Structure 1
Amino acid sequence: MKADIAYQLHYRTVRPLVCDVHGRGGVSRKAFRAVCAARAHFADWTNGRGSRPAVATLQAITGLSKAVIQRATRLMRALGLATEIMRGRQRTYRERMASWRVRDKGRGWASVWALHPPRNPQVNQLKERLDPRPNKSVTPHPRRGPFRALSHERFHSLEHDTGSACEEKRRAPRDSTDERAGSKRKHRAVDPQAVKLAAHWLSDPQTPRWAHRHSAKGWAPLLTAPAAHNWVSADINQLIRDYRGITGHWIATDPHHPIKLLAGILKWHGKDNLDDRPAAAILAQEAEAAARRRAINECDRCSEYGWELDPTSGLEREPVARCSHIHHIHA
């Protein structure tokens, strides 16, 4: 209905955008309505998107010529009834060969259009005055059950609002708001230790980027068993490196299911083998090196490399000897 109103109000204004340079050509009201209905037939009735019929298909449905359909399409765009999301084009040679292998003889791709009501308050006001139905006088068809609207009887976006321009709010899908408020989603309890491990893992700079697609609570159910065995973030990252290096499996930079990927890696490590932390030896070596460096820094009788110094010259002794830092411990 809004498409018809927009045609009557603004056709004389936008007609130069449809005609040629000599002012020839135009679109009648009947042809315009036929093209709008035909394009709306191929669109998603909930939002008006995905309408991509070919011109030959519209010719077979409406019985109009190719030039009239093209002018009507330009008129829809000029009136604000359609937006061209992706422009059609001819297929390349490789695309035609690939299409012919699946018995598709088409030589081009049709344009993709999104249909929507015109964003014009004058059209909306006139529709409210011309609409004989009072507000809330008609019960909508249910979307489920034996009395649901059939697919071929559903409304199109050209007849009803589907966006923010609609002044009337849609009815809630549930019959009672009290039931919706009373029903609470049941969340599964998560282990706080697993949440802490997941948070530390996500804050680790060595963690892969795909891990940040889920929150710490999202990773917690999977990391409950490792957290119970005192795993740290370095163990998870080392396990991923071991899995990639030992098995030779390729890990995508952006996997489709990150949680399933890590679950498979943990399964490869073994549920009964969680006591064997992947980074335990590396962390022990790092702790030993840090303790050795700290002892060298606190000792005044050895060089920066841990060799004993000669008290008289202040240089390393000959032959060199490793400092035991015992005097520092007794002090």
Structure 2
Amino acid sequence: MLPGRTHDSSYPLEGPEGAICDQHRVSPREEFHRASLGQRPPTYRGSSPTRRCRGVLRAKPTARKIRSRTRTTPRWNPLSPTAAVVLELPDDVYAGVPCWNGKWARWAHLTVGIAYDLGYQRIRPLMCDGGISRKTLILVAAALARYADYRTGRNARPTNRRLAEDTALSERTVQRGREALRLLGLATELLRGRQRTRAERFASWRLGDRHRGWASVWCLHESSWQRRVFHKMSSHPRKGSLLSVNVSFRDKTTTPGTAGTPSAATTKGASRRRRRQEPSQGRTESRQQGYLLASSWLRNARTPQWARKHTPRGWSAILAPLAEHGWTPDDINELMADWERTGGNWLPPVPYKPIALIATMIVWHRRHNGLDDRPAALALAQEQAAEQARIEQRLRDRRAQEESRQARAAARDLVGGPAHRAAQQVAADAAARAAAKRAMQAARDAAARSELVARQRGHDLPGRTD
């Protein structure tokens, strides 16, 4: 990593998660915890030294087509806004990270402005190298929101230089704006900007891409307390002045159960016909079960990324019949595999209508098997049988280990007893006899060698004179 570079990140200095400049030795998480109103802040799910996110280099389909047609390396245009390669994030990178409530204009001008007015004094001591004004922060937030996904607020990847050109501000001001958004809980840095590796540079150069780094990937959303307040407030406040009677602030801002009732001006006339019939108790419980199944399915590691395009509330309607028959997330994933392999159907990598596709798969499975026949039941039974076999094997190993331990303990208790002393005496006698035999054999060998030496020297030859 080059010295003096921040690589399009809101972390100006290197250090642990939440590290700030030298004049503030306390981490921002601890400062935020001290300054909060007795509530622990939500867990930060962005990129950090303890939770790094690197990504995988992928070539765009258009670049592959151009490469296959020309068979030559395309010329690189530094002014072109498009790139031949893209950094693909892991499937679970957005797990636990919310989306924004509304569109980019509402988030940039309303959500950021409210969060600045209520929380800037708390985060100002945590910011490095100066603060930022409300107007400038909204300007940076609006420029950043233009590059995010229109529906979810995710996948915002502009560089600091690009934002500085769009806002006519300095790059350092843009970095302070991103830092303020992160400390206010309005943005999460999922992938920290970094330089490309040697293999990534070679792979991108072959496709005509001469860029040398990756910009940070951000997800824009509301803070935790804003989500609680926005979801609690009613979109139909009661008529008349809120200050006409003495009521609490909670009664002024929320009107539970009054959105569908007729107003005071129409109580004397005919009652309005309700356009939407209230769901029955059984249907409500079925929807709740479908919601729980959808939540667990979206959190599953095998679930494809395109399924997270919709919320659990959107999936609850079609997954409610599956939840009634005891389906699990593994059953839904196995259903998609059966749809593609057994049924011979085509499963697109990114379906245009994911909910309609899953509904078609459910109808196909119901027509051939029925909902009582769960796709992952056999695999689950095999896993349970294997797990039971492992448990029994561990029990047998533990019993054998216990028997061996008891045998060793019994053998240690016999040490020093009459039988042990008798065995030691027998062993000593056997060792003495073996030693005597070895000594006798050594004496015989020595006598034989002496006789052989004397015979070779001629001492025992008859008739020899000196």
**Which bracket does the TM-score occupy, shorter chain normalised?**
0.3 to 0.5
> What's the TM-score once normalised by structure 2's chain length?
0.28
Computing the radius of gyration from Cα coordinates, the structure with the larger value is 2
